[in-house]
Amino acid sequence: MLLDALHCRNKKRPPIWLMRQAGRYLPEYRALREGRTLLDMFHDPKTIVEVTKLPLDILQVDAAILFSDILTVFDGLGIRYDFQEGVGPVVQDSPDRIEMQDPHVAYVNVIEAIEQLKEELEVPLLGFAGAPFTVASYLIEGGSSRDLKKTKQWLFRDPEGFTKLLDQITVATIEYLNCQVRAGVDAIQLFDSWANALSIYEFRTYCLEPMRKIMKAVDHPTLLFCRGSSLFAPELAKLQPAAISVDWSGDLLAIRDQIPRSIALQGNLDPMLLYASKEKIAEGADRLLFGMKDDPGFIFNLGHGLLPDIPVENVKFLVDHVRRS
């Protein structure tokens, strides 16, 4: 069903999966996480397989997304990183420490997990990577930053140096994604989560161009997500991806009119609506379901990831509601 929708030929109800469907809002995830570091979990094939499958059993979603992180590409760039409790991602090395690694060694755990998942799953498996601009921003800022000041200072002051860094990340990302594709993922999603920090002019140069290079070198159905995709959707459409994953700001129906019918649209419920009553959740979901009714290229999703304290009951309710539509 998801693959049909990705090819804009789905004749049934829209498929649904949710960004961050494998995460802390699930008590089962928190139990598996107890006493372990995230880095340890992302590097253990058995854990990757187990956590990837968790939301399938619990929610009955129509696709699995690999349990990994956009930072794992640093394994192929020789950059050390960690996730700190209450802080989030922390990158220990600076950009001048990049040392390209053999991808088959760097990503061996992910490759092994995908191979095993493909033997066990009954729904499509999505692989993913961060888009180079967003990955670069973690490398430059060292962790979380709200305005990406250092990244933007660099790109405005030294566009050539910044482009060189993006090129290095792009090469590693292509290798990482091709490892995932060869191991068997059915489609891939690129996350340019911080694209909304840029104006449309810089977006074209520093987000779109690296994504274009990746799509050229990785020949596989690709979904493109950015925070900012409701504004940048026509730009993203120029790359002719299989799908655009739309953030929660925009009106999906209006965006549909700006985008060729050959490109699927995924989105775009505001994840925070899942804190509201079931009645309100149904109302928000119905607005999307009615608006996109009979669209053969509609994939139901959120406009950004699930948050750790969203009630799991409400997430289950949403998925049931869409499955019954």
Nearest by Cα to 239 from 217, 254, 256: 217
Residues 6+ apart with CB under 8 A from 309: 25
CB of 15 to ligand CP3, least distance (A): 16
CA-to-CA distance for 50 and 276, rounded, in angstroms? 30
For the bound state, the minimum distance from the C-beta of residue 45 to ligand CP3, rounded and expressed in Å, comes to 15
The answer to whether 26 and 58 have CB atoms below 8 angstroms apart is: yes
What mask, x for binding ligand CP3 by CB under 6 A, covers residues 201 to 240?
Answer: ----------------------------------------
- Which CB atom, from 115 or from 282, has the smaller least distance to ligand CP3? 115
Residue 23 as a binder of ligand CP3 (CB under 6 A): the answer is yes
Looking at residues 241 to 300 of the shown chain, list those that interact with ligand CP3 (rule: CB under 6 A).
none
Secondary structure (DSSP) of 249-315: TS-HHHHHHHS-TTSEEEEEE-GGGGGS-HHHHHHHHHHHHHHTTT-TTEEEEESSPPPTTS-HHHH
Looking at the Cβ atoms of 84 and 277, the one nearer to ligand CP3 is 84
Q: Which amino acid is at 191?
A: F
The distance of Cα 123 from the centroid of its chain, to the nearest Å, equals 18
* Residue 41 to residue 25: CA distance in whole angstroms: 17
Beta pairing partners, 191? 130, 225
Question: Nearest 5°: phi and psi at 302?
Answer: -90, 170
The DSSP H or E segment spanning 82 is strand 81-84
Length of the chain (residues): 325
| Residue from 138, 176, 256, 295 carrying the catalytic annotation | 138
Q: How far is the CB of 286 from ligand CP3 (least distance, A)?
A: 24
Residues 78-107 that bind ligand CP3 (CB under 6 A): 83, 88-89
Q: Which residue is nearest to ligand CP3 (CB)?
A: 193
What amino acid is encoded at 313 in this protein? E
Q: Tally Cβ neighbours within 10 Å of residue 60.
A: 13
**One of 33, 204, 212, 323 is an active-site residue; which one?**
33
Q: Which of 65, 129, 174, 246 binds ligand CP3 (CB under 6 A)?
A: 65
30 is catalytic: no
Q: How far is the CB of 320 from ligand CP3 (least distance, A)?
A: 19
Given candidates 62, 69, 141, 175, which one binds ligand CP3 under the rule CB under 6 A?
Answer: 69
User: Interacting stretch for ligand CP3, rule CB under 6 A, among 62-70, 108-116, 195-203, 210-218?
Assistant: 62-70
Based on the residue annotation, tell me whether 20 is a catalytic residue of this protein.
yes
Pick the catalytic residue from 69, 75, 192, 295: 69
| Closer to ligand CP3 by Cβ: residue 254 or 272 | 272
The contact pattern for ligand CP3, residues 117-136, with x = CB under 6 A and - = no contact, is -----------x--------
The residues assigned a catalytic role are 20, 24, 33, 69, 138
Which residues make up the interface to ligand CP3 (CB under 6 A)?
19-24, 33, 38, 65, 67-70, 83, 88-89, 128, 191, 193, 305
